[in-house]
Amino acid sequence: MRSSLLRGAAVTAGLALLLVGCSGPAATPSASAPASPSASAPSEEKVTLTVATFNEFGYEDLFAEYTKAHPNVTITPKKAATSNEARENYFNKLAAGSGLSDIEAIEVDWLPDVMQTADKLYDLSGDDVKGRWLDWKEAAGTAPDGKLVAYGTDIGPEGVCYRADLFKKAGLPTDRAEVAKALGSTWDDYFALGKKFVAKSNGVAWFDSADAIMQGQINQLKNAFSSTEPEETLIPLGDNAPVKAQYDSILKAAVDDKLSAHLQQWQPDWVDAFQKGKFATMLCPGWMLGVIEGNAKGIEGWDIANTFPGGGGNWGGSYLTVPAQGAHTKEARDLAAWLTAPEQQIKAFKAKGTFPSQKQALTSPDLLSVTNKFFNNAPTGQILADRANAVPFNPFKGPQYFAVRQVIADAINRVDVTKKQNAADSWAQAIKEFNALG
C-alpha cells in the first residue's frame, strides 16, 4: 500500500493533528495483553472476525478460501475509503479501548505511533512465523521490548518505470536491460540521462514530480529527520545537511535543468498527464504499477527498468495487527498469520499487485515467473524481487516524520509546481514552519 503522506496537504495536516494526540512516551507491555497462542489447538467455536483494510490488499478470494477451510469462522471485511480514514479510525478507537476490528491493517509510516501504544496490541510472536519476513520488514513491526505486534503484508521496492516509445523518439535505448545500464547507479546518472532526453524530447519532461524524487531520496536516508544515537532527537531543519543537499540537487534538476513536468502526485493534473505523455520516467514501487496502468489505460510503451538511483529504495508497505481489545484475539491471530503466509501473499500480489515481504515468497518460482502485459511483458516478479533484495535498511521515522515531511513537500512544491518562490526563499520558509512545529 502506498504511503498516505503524499495524497494532499490538507489531509496530511489533519494527520499531523492526530499524531499530536497520539504521541507520548514509549509504552510498557500491558499485563492484560494475552500471550501468543500459536502453540494451542485450533478452536471449533463459531466466531465472526472483522478485518479492516484500506485501498487494495487482494484479500477477497483469500477470505473465501479461509472460511471454506474453517467453517466455524465468518469473516466480515471492512474497507476504508482511504488510508487516512483508516488511520484516524485506528488511533481514535485504540485510545478509546473499544470499537476496532479483530484485525486492523496499518501502513508502514504509522509505525512510530503504533509502537508508542504497542501495549494495546496482541503479541503475534510464534515459532510458526519466526524468520518469515525480510529482516528490515520484521524489525519495523517489532516493539522495543521484542514483542512482534505487526505481521508484514506487502512492501514497495522501487524501480524506474519509463516510456519506451518516448525514449526511442529521443534517441535513447528502449530495451529494459539497456535502459537500466543507461540510467547508471547514482542520482547524478539519472539526472544526466534526463538532460540528454529533454534536449531531444520536444517538451516532454524527464520525471513527473520533484517531490516524488524527494520521496525516493528521503527513503534512502537512515535517519532523515531524527537521530537515534544516543537517543531519538529531532534534527533541526536548518542543520540537516543531507536533506538540504537533496533539496538543492533535486530542484536544480527540476527547474534549472528543466527535467520536471511540475506536477504534484495524486492531483488531477498528474492523473491526466499519463494520457497526455507529459513525462517519460517515474519512480515506481510495486504498488505503483497498478496506478500507472489505470491512469495510462490505452497508452502503449510503458516498461520498467531493474535499477534504482542510489541503490535500493522502498516506498510504502503495510502490516496486519490484532488489537488486544478484541474478543477473539487467538482466532484473529490465526487468520492474520495465514493471510501473511508466503503462499497467500503471492496470491494477493497476483490479484492486486501487493508485492510480498516474505523471504520464501521472494524465491518462489510462482512469484518470480510473474510478468506484466501492460509493461511490455516485463518480468515484474523477478524485477521487484531484485529490487526488494537491494533495500539495505528500513529508515527510522520518528513521531514527527509526517509533519516534517510535509514541510519539505510544501517547500519543493512552492518551487516546482506553483512556482511561487525560488528555492532559497522556500527553504527559508520551510525552516520557519519547522521551528513552529514545536
Tens of pLDDT, residue by residue over 109-158, are 888 889 989 999 999 999 999 999 998 899 999 998 999 999 999 999 99
Residue 303 β-bridge partners: 162
CB-based contact 335:103 (threshold 8 Å): yes
Reference 348, options 323, 373, 320, 308; nearest CA is 320
Neighbours of 42 (CB within 10 A): 11
CB-based contact 106:395 (threshold 8 Å): no
Across 89-99, average pLDDT: 94
At 402 the pLDDT is 80
Q: What is the DSSP letter of 256?
A: I
Q: Is it the case that residue 359 has pLDDT exceeding 90?
A: yes
**How would residue 25 be classed by pLDDT, with cut points 50, 70 and 90?**
very low
Distance CA 294, CA 384 (A): 19
Q: What are phi and psi of 305, to 5 degrees?
A: -95, 140
Report CA Rg, the chain: 22
Q: Grid coordinates standing for 392? A: 539495505
Helix (H, G, I), strand (E, B), or coil: what is residue 101? coil
What's the mean per-residue pLDDT of the chain? 89
Helix (H, G, I), strand (E, B), or coil: what is residue 35? coil
Which segments of the chain belong to CATH 3.40.190.10?
47-155+316-369, 156-313+386-436
At 291 the pLDDT is 87
Distance CA 389, CA 308 (A): 12
| CA atoms within 13 Å, Cβ hemisphere of 316 | 23
| CA atoms within 13 Å, Cβ hemisphere of 175 | 3
Decide which of 235 and 2 is more confident.
235
Distance CA 180, CA 196 (A): 15
Reference 244, options 423, 436, 16; nearest CA is 423
CB-based contact 106:84 (threshold 8 Å): no
CB-based contact 162:276 (threshold 8 Å): no
CB-based contact 255:425 (threshold 8 Å): no
- CATH 3.40.190.10 at 47-155+316-369, yes or no: yes
Among the four given CATH numbers 3.40.190.10, 3.40.309.10, 3.40.50.150, 3.40.1000.10, the one describing domain 156-313+386-436: 3.40.190.10
| Predicted TM-score (pTM) of this structure | 0.81
At 27 the pLDDT is 27
